[in-house]
Amino acid sequence: MTEKPANAMWGGRFAMSPAEIMQEINASIGFDKALAPQDIRGSKAHAEMLAEAGIITKSDAREIVKGLDKIKAEIDAGTFEFSRALEDVHMNVESRLKDMIGAAAGRLHTARSRNDQVATDFRLFVRDAIDGIDTALEGVQRALVEKAEKHAGTVMPGFTHLQPAQPVTFGHHLLAYVEMISRDRGRFADARKRLNESPLGSAALAGTSFPIDREKTAEALGFDRPMANSLDGVSDRDFAMETLAAATITAVHFSRLAEEIVIWMTPQFGFVKLSDRFTTGSSIMPQKRNPDAAELARAKVGRIAAAFQGLVIVMKGLPLAYSKDMQEDKETAFDALSSLRLVMAAMAGMIADLEPNAEAMRAAAGRGYSTATDLADWLVRELKMPFRDAHHVTGSIVKVAETKGIDLEALSLEEMQKVEPRITKAVFSVLSVENSVKSRTSYGGTAPQNVVKMARQWLRRLEKGRGKV
> Tens digits of per-residue pLDDT, 304-345?
999 999 999 999 999 999 898 888 899 999 999 999 999 999
Split at pLDDT 50, 70, 90, the class of 287 is confident
Condensed to tens digits (0 to 9), the pLDDT of residues 56-93 reads 999 999 999 999 999 999 999 999 999 888 888 999 99
Name the amino acid, one letter, at 144. Answer: L
Residue 14 contacts residue 5 (beta carbons within 8 Å): yes
Averaged pLDDT of the chain: 92
Split at pLDDT 50, 70, 90, the class of 29 is confident
Average pLDDT over residues 98-123: 95
- C-alpha distances (whole Å) from 205 to each of 194, 231, 301, 381 are 21, 5, 35, 70
Cross-strand bridge partners of residue 356:
272
Q: Would the pLDDT of 111 be above 70? A: yes
Task: Look at residues 299, 193, 197 and name the one whose alpha carbon lies nearest to residue 246.
Answer: 193
163 in helix, strand or coil?
A: strand
Three-state SS for 348-371 is: HHHHHHCEECHHHHHHHHCCCCCC
- C-alpha distances (whole Å) from 337 to each of 37, 342, 429, 439 are 17, 9, 51, 43
Pairwise CA distance, residues 85 & 91, whole Å: 9
Residue 110 contacts residue 56 (beta carbons within 8 Å): yes
Q: How far apart are the first and last CA of the chain?
A: 67
For 156, the enclosing helix (H) or strand (E) is: strand 155-160
Residue 148 contacts residue 178 (beta carbons within 8 Å): yes
Average pLDDT over residues 193-197: 98
Other residues' Cβ atoms within 10 Å of the Cβ of residue 444: 11
Residue 214 contacts residue 156 (beta carbons within 8 Å): no
Q: Would the pLDDT of 171 be above 80? A: yes
Pairwise CA distance, residues 387 & 242, whole Å: 45
Residues serving a catalytic function are: 161, 282
Dihedral angle at the C-alpha atoms of 189, 195, 197, 199, nearest 10 degrees? -160
Respond yes or no on whether the N-terminal peptide bond of residue 363 is cis (omega within 30° of 0): no
